[in-house]
A and B are shown apart, each in its own frame.
Chain A
Amino acid sequence: MEILQARGIVKQFANHLALDKVSISVKEQSVFGLLGPNGAGKTTLIRIINQITAPDVGELLFAGEKLTPKHTEQIGYLPEERGLYKKMKVGEQALYLAQLKGMSRHEAGKRLKWWFERFEIMNWWDKKVEELSKGMQQKVQFIVTVIHQPRLLIFDEPFSGFDPINVNILKEEILRLRNEGSTIIFSTHNMSSVEELCDDIALINKSKKILDGAVKDIKQEYKSNLFEVSCNNLNGDLNRALRAGFNIMETREDNELLFYKIQVPEGTKPNELLQNLIPHVEIHEFRELLPSMNDIFIRKVSEASATASKTEIANNL
Chain B
Amino acid sequence: MTNKISLIIKREYLTRVRKKSFIVMTILGPILMAALFIVPTYLATMGGDTKTIQVVDETGLFAERFENTDALIFKPLAMDIEAAKELFPRSGDDALLYIPMTELSVPTSAFLYFDTQPTLVMRSTISNTMRREVESLKLAASGIEPEIMRSIKSSVNLMTIKLHEGGKEEKKFSEVATILGFVSAFMIYIFVFMFGSQVLRGVIEEKTSRIIEVIVSSVKPFQLMMGKIVGVGMVGLTQFLLWVVLTLVIVAGVQTAFPGKFQAPQTDQMLVTDSRIAGPAQISEETLQMDDSVMAQIAEGIRTINFSAIIFSFLFYFLGGYLLYAALFAAIGAAVDNETDSQQFMFPVTIPLIIAIVMAQYVINEPNGAVAFWFSIIPLTSPVIMMIRIPFGVPFTDLALSASLLVLGFLGATWLAAKIYRTGILMYGKKVDYAELWKWLKYKG
Contacts of B8 in A (CB 8 A): 100
Nearest-CB residue, chain B, relative to A53: B445
| Contacting residues of chain A (58-89) with chain B, CB-CB under 8 angstroms | 69, 72-73, 75, 77-79, 81-88
Besides A52-B213, A81-B210, 9 more A-B contacts (Cβ < 8 Å) are: A14-B443, A72-B217, A72-B219, A78-B214, A86-B209, A87-B15, A100-B8, A100-B218, A101-B218
Is the Cβ of A77 less than 8 Å from the Cβ of B214? yes
Q: Establish whether residues B428 and A100, one from each chain, have CB atoms under 8 Å apart when the complex forms.
A: no
CB distance from B227 to the nearest CB of A (A): 10
Does B371 reach chain A (CB closer than 8 Å)? Answer: no
Q: Do the beta carbons of A52 and B211 come within 8 Å of each other?
A: no
B439 CB–A CB distance under 8 Å: yes
Residue of A nearest to B208 (CB): A83
8 tightest Cβ-Cβ pairs between the two chains A and B: A83-B210, A54-B445, A79-B213, A100-B218, A77-B217, A83-B209, A50-B217, A81-B210
Q: Which chain B residues numbered 43 to 77 have a C-beta less than 8 Å away from chain A?
A: none
**Known interface pairs A53-B445, A56-B444. Does A100 touch B219 (Cβ–Cβ under 8 Å)?**
yes
0 or 1 for each of B186-216: is its CB under 8 Å from A? (1 = yes):
0000000000000000000110011101111
CB distance from B202 to the nearest CB of A (A): 10
Instruction: Please state if B216 and A100 are interface contacts (CB–CB under 8 Å).
Output: no
Chain A residues with CB below 8 A from B218, complex form: 72-73, 97, 100-101
Q: How far is the CA of A140 from the CA of B399 in the complex (A)?
A: 53
Query: Which of the listed residues B1, B214, B428 has the most CB atoms from chain A within 10 Å of its own CB?
Result: B214
Residues of chain A within 8 A (CB-CB) of B15 are 87-88
Label chain A's interface by main secondary structure.
loop
User: Is B25 positioned at the interface, with any CB of A under 8 Å from its CB?
Assistant: no
Bound form: Cα–Cα A23–B320 in Å: 46
**Interchain Cβ contacts under 8 Å between A and B, 20 examples:** A51-B217, A52-B213, A52-B216, A52-B426, A53-B426, A72-B218, A78-B214, A79-B210, A79-B213, A81-B428, A82-B214, A83-B209, A83-B211, A84-B209, A84-B211, A85-B209, A85-B211, A96-B11, A100-B4, A100-B215
* In the complex, per-residue mask of A128-166: 1 if CB is within 8 Å of any chain B CB, else 0: 000000000000010011000000000000000000000
Residues of A within 8 A of B444 (CB): 54, 56
- Residues in B with CB closer than 8 Å to A81 are 210, 213, 428
For the complex, give the distance between the alpha carbons of A190 and B332 in Å.
36
The complex places the Cα of A99 from the Cα of B218 at a distance, in Å, of 9
Q: Which of B208-258 contact A (CB under 8 A)?
A: 209-211, 213-221
